[in-house]
Amino acid sequence: MSENITSDLQALQQRMATLSQALPGVLSGFKKLSDEATKPGNLSPGLKELVAATLGVTRGCEDCILFHLSTAKRHGADRKELVELLGIAVEMGGGPAIVYAAKALKVFDELA
């Protein structure tokens, strides 16, 4: 990720829009899956997005971290919740997850 989180997010959104135009059926099916998985239930959408972001931490997926933290923030996710979940991600992901957890916390703090 660059030093400009906003431009990184815009670039990610553009790449996803381009892929959506190329694979409309696949991406609309994936959106239905995502909408179903993150709808309000016993867990809030914001908390679900934080979990998705921390899964991105364990997989080393910077774009996943950026996308899901941005969405989590829109849902009012809390930094303290993220920090606790990052601890679990580090437990499960080991050393590489530490690097991505640090990036995730920086992204969360820099997102408007």
For residue 31, pLDDT beyond 80: yes
Q: Please give the average per-residue pLDDT across 30-34, as a whole number.
A: 96
pLDDT one-digit tens code per residue, 57-69: 999 999 999 999 9
Tens digit of pLDDT for each residue in 52-107? Answer: 999 999 999 999 999 999 999 999 999 999 999 999 999 999 999 999 999 999 99
Question: Domains of the chain, with CATH numbers?
Answer: 5-110 (1.20.1290.10)
Tell me the whole-structure pTM to 2 decimals.
0.92
Alpha-carbon dihedral angle through residues 6, 62, 64, 4, given to the nearest 10 degrees: 0
48 vs 46: CA distance, rounded Å: 5
Select the more confidently predicted residue: 42 or 1.
Answer: 42
d(CA 75, CA 70): 9
- Residue 22: what pLDDT? 98
One-character DSSP codes across 7-75: HHHHHHHHHHHHHHHHSHHHHHHHHHHHHHHHSSSSS-HHHHHHHHHHHHHHHT-HHHHHHHHHHHHHT
Q: For residue 63, what pLDDT is reported? A: 97
